[in-house]
Amino acid sequence: MSYTLEGRTGPWEIVVGLEVHAQVTSNAKLFSGAATAFGAAPNTQVSFIDAGFPGMLPVINRECVAQAVRTGLGLKAQINLWSRFDRKNYFYADLPQGYQISQYAHPIVGEGAIEIELADGSTKTVGITRLHLEQDAGKSLHDQHPTKSYIDLNRSGVALMEIVSEPDMRSPEEAGAYLTKLRQILRYLGTCDGNMDEGSMRADVNVSVRKAGEGYRTRCEVKNVNSIRFVMQAVEAEARRQIEIWEEGGTVEQETRLFDTARGVTRSMRSKEDAHDYRYFPDPDLPPLVLEQNWVDQLKASLPELPDERRARYVAMGLSPYDAHVLTLEKETAAYFETVAKGRDAKIAANWVMGDLFAAINRTRTSIAEPPVKAEYLGVLLDLMKDGTLSGKLAKEVFEAMVETGRSPGAIVEERGLRQVTDTGAIERIVAQVLEANADKVAEYKSGKEKLFGFFVGQTMKAMQGKGNPALVNEAVKKLLG
Ligand code: MN
């Protein structure tokens, strides 16, 4: 059953394509040596090139090119060994050059694909149209002074990858899943940090609606949406607006819109410009960018394991597809899990990470990057259960103590005397005391009240302060009652 929105005239299908601007992780800008660190004081990371001084010549940053190629390989895309930089001309106060250096007709990366995972467990392939490199603009600050606007050029010239998808998504959920997966791939690759609240990933959302079986109708572009949740909301709000226009007999005009996050609606920003408005032409300061296949092959050989492959490997280790999905969402979670699971039972390790550890992270407001319990310690805790030192119940107790104190499981077991009792003689002596103290209940049990069995086990465990090996306690109770 595909997703539709209901209008007066019946169901409507949504068509979504996304253009994502992802900031390249690199120490220096695309064409200058200025730094790119987030949060620096305004205008402290600006070279003459970034400030658009006359006569300055851009020089391409090799690492930014490598990052774009890595990303293209991670998106299973065509790498174009020959690409070219163009000038995209427009005037704006935060664009001192008067043009943006971008790639228009010949991008560095061509067609690729991303497989997205949906809540019902199904997957879907979304096509990638292209990826090109371009410069970011500066930033205008309108809220620093009552009558003046300020300009911060720190971001001017920072390398961006513009990643354009095919219009393959059909619901807000699919748009959200696409962005989630794209961000996950970029983070695994280390080519963009994916921090949307710092502006390192921003999405332009192209939305149109249509009746089943139709071709595409006119689309509108919602600019610069900066969270996955807002993208999903913008898709739905914009689709509803268009449905209303069509149903009232109007025509949707192609335009650029903004998403008002407070009111949950899109509003017009400007009529959509076409490519010819920008008068693209090849940048005369830059020769074509020519890559050697050999270099691309080296980058490919050194790519890290990507989320899809890692998920498949976890399933092969015996995890459910769901567990494998959750554990690979963040690469820090995957690394933690692998440390715990190394040389141990993968399923048990997954249960502890997704259960007790995630709960402890929530409770202590920490993160998997700075976990409340070290992965090595959780691994040792599993060993202590396996060799019989700790029962499941005692292990939980030790785990909580680890969260509180940060100490190793071995130290906690010794300090608190939590070692599990596996001496059958000692267990039987305590069971005998319990039965003697509860002679009336023993009589009831023997006359058929069998559910009292659990009571004897419970009393024995209580007398042993929870340290009895549960299987051995059960056996002993059975033996002495019988
Ligand atoms: Mn762009």
Backbone torsions φ then ψ of 126, nearest 5 degrees: -110, 130
Q: Output the CA 272–ligand 1 centroid distance in Å.
A: 14
Q: Output the CA 25–ligand 1 centroid distance in Å.
A: 17
Distance CA 401, CA 227 (A): 37
Q: Output the CA 108–ligand 1 centroid distance in Å.
A: 14
Q: Output the CA 91–ligand 1 centroid distance in Å.
A: 15
Q: Output the CA 188–ligand 1 centroid distance in Å.
A: 23
Q: Output the CA 106–ligand 1 centroid distance in Å.
A: 14
Q: Output the CA 251–ligand 1 centroid distance in Å.
A: 27
Q: Residue 303's pLDDT is what? A: 97
Distance CA 311, CA 309 (A): 5
Q: Output the CA 88–ligand 1 centroid distance in Å.
A: 10
Q: Residue 376's pLDDT is what? A: 96
Ion ligand 1: residues, CB < 5 A = 162
Q: Output the CA 5–ligand 1 centroid distance in Å.
A: 30
Q: Residue 1's pLDDT is what? A: 52
Least Cα distance to 219 among 475, 419, 16 occurs for 16
Q: Output the CA 185–ligand 1 centroid distance in Å.
A: 20
Distance CA 15, CA 243 (A): 12
Q: Output the CA 171–ligand 1 centroid distance in Å.
A: 24
Q: What is the CA radius of gyration of the chain?
A: 31
Q: Output the CA 48–ligand 1 centroid distance in Å.
A: 22
377 within 8 A of 409, measured Cβ to Cβ:
yes
Distance CA 185, CA 220 (A): 27
User: CB-based contacts of 147: which residues, under 8 Å, 6+ apart?
Assistant: none
Q: Output the CA 160–ligand 1 centroid distance in Å.
A: 8
Q: Output the CA 306–ligand 1 centroid distance in Å.
A: 26
Q: Output the CA 10–ligand 1 centroid distance in Å.
A: 36
Query: In the chain, which stretches have pLDDT less than 70?
Result: 1, 272
Q: Output the CA 392–ligand 1 centroid distance in Å.
A: 55
Q: Output the CA 181–ligand 1 centroid distance in Å.
A: 20
97 within 8 A of 89, measured Cβ to Cβ:
no
Q: Output the CA 443–ligand 1 centroid distance in Å.
A: 83
Q: Output the CA 301–ligand 1 centroid distance in Å.
A: 29
Distance CA 441, CA 436 (A): 10
Q: Output the CA 273–ligand 1 centroid distance in Å.
A: 13
pLDDT in tens, 94-122: 999 999 999 999 999 999 999 999 988 89
Q: Output the CA 164–ligand 1 centroid distance in Å.
A: 9
Q: Output the CA 134–ligand 1 centroid distance in Å.
A: 7
Q: Where is 414: in which H helix or E strand?
A: helix 409-416
Q: Output the CA 172–ligand 1 centroid distance in Å.
A: 22
Distance CA 137, CA 19 (A): 17
- Residue 224's identity, in one-letter code, is N
Q: Output the CA 39–ligand 1 centroid distance in Å.
A: 22
Q: Output the CA 133–ligand 1 centroid distance in Å.
A: 9
Least Cα distance to 382 among 405, 363, 402 occurs for 402
Exposure of 447 by Cβ count < 10 A (0-12 exposed, 13-18 middle, 19+ buried)?
A: exposed
CA-angle at 287, arms to 281 and 292, nearest 5°: 125
Structure-token pair, residue 422 = 């596996």
Q: Output the CA 19–ligand 1 centroid distance in Å.
A: 8
420 within 8 A of 465, measured Cβ to Cβ:
no
Q: Output the CA 178–ligand 1 centroid distance in Å.
A: 19
CA 444, chain centre distance (Å): 58
Q: Output the CA 204–ligand 1 centroid distance in Å.
A: 9
- Give pTM, 2 decimals: 0.85
Half-sphere exposure (Cβ direction) of 287: Cα atoms closer than 13 Å: 2
Q: Output the CA 97–ligand 1 centroid distance in Å.
A: 16
What Cα–Cα distance (Å) separates residue 378 from each residue in 341, 391, 397, 408, 411? 10, 15, 13, 9, 13
Task: List, in order of start, the domains of the chain with CATH numbers.
Answer: 4-296 (no CATH), 305-416 (no CATH), 424-481 (1.10.10.410)
